Structure 1
């Protein structure tokens, strides 16, 4: 993978282990020559991932909508800085510039990004790996909810299994590198792909 998008919080939260892991993720991406595509902020978990990349001489592509440039305090030391008109364009550019996606701790915005990119995969609109970095069990409740959706017939097991999950950065990256995409859904018109 050349570039990985990391979806995560613009807040730091209160778990020092997650904060350390965010920096370590950035460092690991830089050391593996994998570029970071992210929301362009210098604050929060986003900022810690970016710091890890920058301080280890990695590539950073930040994408931010114009109206958030001051609210999220945009990072000024990125390899590439892209300003969009809106949130949707931000996500499309992050998708286009990435070969895979990692979900770290975050709030509603992170959940929005996770569910949208996962839904696109379920619909066969992309075949890129999606990984959850479940540091300190942050996503245990989400994983249980997904299992409940499978048990009650609202989510196919194969679609849940298409999301790779690990508690460690190295384990997650290995699973993403070995990812085998789902076949395109039969009900979709291939011309739309």
Structure 2
């Protein structure tokens, strides 16, 4: 199994983000779960990759040519794919992965997760999507997603497609038994 992990190209202000991201990298490697990520050596992306590699894990990076220098492409990965643009990056990450998890990050992290979730909602793939809400980082986003349901912009069965937990183990167990919802219309 390989999972796409979306996370920040910076470390954020809370040192706990770095510690928790490293723990995710180690845990996935120890379970034999490969990581597909944005290919950077900086920020949480680099932390994730380095921690998994230190445990002997498989780490595949996918980075657009234009970001290769800015995100400082990680040259010590199992595989590094340099692609033309962000569209190709996301498509290749999706193709290489069996599921998607967002760790803390900024708008790029959210954009990648929301696109993967949307593709699943539209039936373009049947893979699970998740938020690892460690230390409550995504609490406000989770409330907003629930508001989309309350306001009628997101059907509850599509909301339920996004697995949310503060514990990696819970997400991985949910991924093992994940079944996408039966489409009931838009």
Q: C-alpha displacement at 1:43, in angstroms?
A: 0.8
Q: What is the alpha-carbon distance in structure 1 between the residues aligned to residue 66 and residue 99 of structure 2?
A: 26
Look up the match of 1:96: 95
Q: What is the alpha-carbon distance in structure 2 between the residues aligned to residue 148 and residue 94 of structure 1?
A: 29
Query: SS of 2:126's equivalent?
Result: coil
Show the 5 A alignment for 1:8-19.
8-19=7-18
The C-alpha deviation readout for 1:140-177, integer Å capped at 9, x for no partner, is 01100000000010000111111111101112211221
CA RMSD of the aligned region, Å?
A: 1.2
Does residue 156 (structure 1) correspond to residue 155 (structure 2)? The answer is yes
Count of residues paired in the alignment: 186
Asked if the contact 1:37/1:62 (under 8 Å) is kept, the reply is yes
Q: C-alpha displacement at 1:29, in angstroms?
A: 0.8
Show the 5 A alignment for 1:122-141.
122-141=121-140
Look up the match of 2:144: 145
Does residue 36 (structure 1) correspond to residue 30 (structure 2)? The answer is no
Query: SS of 1:93's equivalent?
Result: helix
Query: SS of 1:164's equivalent?
Result: strand
Q: TM-score, normalised by structure 2?
A: 0.97
Q: C-alpha displacement at 1:131, in angstroms?
A: 1.1
Q: Which runs of 5+ in 1 are unaligned?
A: 189-193
Q: What is the alpha-carbon distance in structure 2 between the residues aligned to residue 52 and residue 164 of structure 1?
A: 24
Q: What is the alpha-carbon distance in structure 1 between the residues aligned to residue 15 and residue 172 of structure 2?
A: 22
